[in-house]
Structure 1
Amino acid sequence: MKITYEEFSPSADLAPYVECYWVHSFTGESGEDSPVQRCLPLGMVEVIIHPDENISDLLTEEQWQQLPRSFFHGIYNNPVYWKIKSNARLFGIRFKPETFSTLFNVPAASLYCHFVSLETFLGREVSGLHRPLYGIKDIAAMVAHCDGFLSKRLADLELQHNYITEAADIIRHTKGNISIEEVSNSISVSMRQLQRSFKENLGTTPKGYLRIIRFRNAFSALESEHEWADITYDLGYADQAHFIREFREFAGDTPNSIIRNAENIRKKPFSFTDSIFL
């Protein structure tokens, strides 16, 4: 089976809200199952759409469960395992979680470690986003459609910049190598207020989000064949034992095992857009 993955940038006006669009394609013999895919925590909220007839299955409590054709998923803190039949694609929209509520008027906290079909979650008002994509083969047209839908939604909103946005930006730009006290001081908000607001809006604490973002950068560095000692130091882990323990918690496996088995069992279904991690 041939598996490909591509990412596409949103329009400039959507860049503060959307990290990227992506397409994950599976091409093979009719009825062929993909290798089991492991999706690692990215610290983002996503819309995932199956534009073709085949729909992926999620491993839940040791049983395979078919996913909705179009769904939201929130921030998650552990690996997710799934597979799909050949000749199918997944189309995704990756949102920055602190701005998700601006676009959809619901907090990302309601999706934490959870997924739900688009229309179950938001009703028919969101049908114009996903239904026109069913059956479309032209990826550029899919991206253009979503850009148009989300840009129109953005234009109809009264935008407000808030300290949650600032805090999340700081955590991402420091690659998670910062204390929550430093984040709190940077935005002039008490740690207690920051803790409460993160939990209410993102579903996790500032520390929880920081750990996910640090893991994401650790994985990206590991994928680029950086030395463990450098990753440990650059991202502020206490020592290599701390790095390995945190990595295993979020990846479900050790760094060595991820490297050794990545190609065989598709441990790395997603590439990483590093533009927000400067």
Structure 2
Amino acid sequence: MSQQIIQPCEDLKDYISHFWAATWEEPMPLTNTTYYATANSLTELVFGFVGSAKLFSSVRGHTTNHIQFPAGDLQELFGVSLYSHAVPFLFHLPASELSNYSVSPETLLGDDGKFLTEKIALTSTAEERVRILTQYFRSQLKKQRWGDPFISKAVRQIRHHSGNLNITDLSNDFCLSQKQFERRFKACAGFNPKLYARIVRFETILSNRTRFVNLTEAAHANGYYDQAHFIHDFKTFTGYSPNTFLALSGY
């Protein structure tokens, strides 16, 4: 399998984490192939292909849930990972409406979704697909109706600090009551701020695990001083203990 990560252009970096592509020389086996997905602070638009034909497309919202499902018969996956606070700017609805929810692009975006999937299906390279989605997202930003730039700054603060931030202090920094801050944050990012920070911290540990001797050391470096608390969060967001998850998922 070959993997490719493509960074967004400069004007979309506040909204897009990255584009990605995965390609298999042969289709994945129909049996005994399982995809493990953890809780995720990102919203993903994904296209799956068998040969040159598009097999499926899906918008998978940011989620607190862990899932696993069979993933056979695919030869290629292409997707874009969006920060959840980008949902109001790019899809023109509160991010909370996509929390723990998957939907087809056609259902979510109507004719725009149908147009996008048809154009993506006709392309053959990741670069062409990035260009199509980039043009679409730029056009959506010009129609901005739902975004909350003020709270988006708070979201970026949490991400910048890898989830290790006092939420009460953060709301005070933005001169909002705790209740106002939580209401606006959930509409903007899809989660209440404390839960969002927990998921971001968990993702940071998972993505940076190779820099440490083990996950326990990574957890300590990212603000978990109680191993029981870390294991509880890990099971909540993956469904498994750390060692079992790593063995099953191949992370």
For normalisation by structure 1, the TM-score amounts to 0.80
**Conserved? CA contact 1:54–1:88, under 8 Å:** no
- Equivalent position amino acid for 1:165 in 2: S
Q: Which runs of 4+ in 1 moved over 6 A?
A: none
Question: What does residue 274 of structure 1 align with?
Answer: none
Which of residues 175, 180, 191 in structure 1 aligns to 2:162?
Answer: 175
Counterpart CA distance in 2 for 1:166 and 1:253 is 33
- Residues 180, 207 of structure 1: 8 Å contact kept: yes
Q: Report the Cα distance in structure 2 between the residues aligned to 1:23 and 1:137, rounded to whole angstroms.
A: 12
What residue is the counterpart of 1:250 in the other structure? 237
Matched, 1:130 2:117: yes
| 1:47 aligned partner | 45
* CA deviation after TM superposition for structure 1 residue 18, in Å: 1.0
Preserved CA contact (<8 Å) 1:35 1:266? no
1:181 shift after superposition: 0.9
**In the TM superposition, what is the alpha-carbon distance from 1:146 to its structure 2 partner?**
1.4
Q: Conserved in 2, the CA contact under 8 Å of 1:23 and 1:90?
A: yes
Give 1:154-169 correspondences, 5 Å limit: 154-157=141-144, 162-169=149-156
Which residue of 176, 187, 194 maps to 1:200?
Answer: 187
Kindly indicate whether residue 19 of structure 2 is the aligned counterpart of residue 21 of structure 1: yes
Which residue does 1:62 correspond to in 2?
Answer: none
Separation in 1 of the partners of 2:69 and 2:118? Answer: 23
The Cα shift of 1:218 comes to 1.5
Cα distance in 1 between the residues matched to 2:145 and 2:93: 15
Q: What letter corresponds to residue 93 of structure 2 in structure 1? A: V
Q: Is this contact kept in 2: 1:17–1:99, CA < 8 A?
A: yes
Alignment-mate amino acid for residue 73 of structure 1: R
* Per-residue Cα deviation, 1:102-155 (whole angstroms, up to 9, x for no partner): 122111211111101111122112333221111432121111221122223324
Larger CA deviation: 114-123 vs 220-229: 220-229
**Cα deviation, residue 162, structure 1:** 2.5
Question: Does structure 1 residue 186 correspond to structure 2 residue 184?
Answer: no
From 225, 237, 260, the equivalent of 2:224 is 237
Q: Name structure 1 gaps, 5 residues minimum.
A: 56-68, 269-278
d(CA) in 2 for partners of 1:86, 1:37: 13
- C-alpha deviation, 1:221, in angstroms: 2.7
> Cα offset for 1:158?
6.8
| Corresponding residue for residue 83 of structure 1 | 70
Check whether the contact 1:128–1:149 (CA below 8 A) recurs between aligned residues: no
- CA distance in structure 2 between the aligned counterparts of 1:166 and 1:142, rounded to whole angstroms: 29
Alpha carbons 1:39, 1:267 under 8 Å: kept: no
Change (3 A) 1:29 1:152: closer
Which whole-Å CA distance do the structure 2 matches of 1:70 and 1:54 have between them?
8
Q: TM-score, normalised by structure 2?
A: 0.88
Specify whether residues 193 and 29 from structure 1 end up closer, same or farther in structure 2 by C-alpha distance, changes over 3 A only: closer
Given the alignment of the two structures, is residue 107 of structure 1 paired with residue 117 of structure 2, yes or no? no
Q: Within 2, Cα distance between the matches of 1:229 and 1:236?
A: 11
In structure 2, the partner of 1:95 is 82
- Alignment RMSD: 2.4
Deviation at 1:38, TM superposition (A): 0.4
Structure 2 residue 5 is matched with structure 1 residue 7:
yes
Partner of 2:129: 142
Taking the aligned partners of 2:28 and 2:7, their CA distance within structure 1 comes to 32
Q: Compared with structure 1, are the counterparts of its residues 31 and 212 closer, same or farther at alpha carbon in structure 2 (3 Å cutoff)?
A: closer
Letter in 2 for 1:215: F
Tell whether 2:205 aligns with 1:218. Answer: yes
2-side partners of 1:97 and 1:204: how far apart?
9
* Distance in 1 separating the partners of 2:188 and 2:148: 14
Whether the aligned pair in 1 keeps the contact of 2:30 and 2:73 (CA below 8 Å) is yes
Instruction: Give the 3 Å change call, closer, same or farther, for CA 198–226 of structure 1 in structure 2.
Output: farther
> Relative contact order, CA 8 A, sep 6+: which one is greater?
1
Letter paired with 2:5: E
Unaligned runs of 5+ residues in structure 2 are none
Per-residue deviation at 1:172? 0.6
Q: C-alpha separation between the residues in 2 aligned to 1:185 and 1:93? A: 33
Cα distance change of structure 1 residues 226 and 30 upon mapping to structure 2, 3 Å threshold: closer
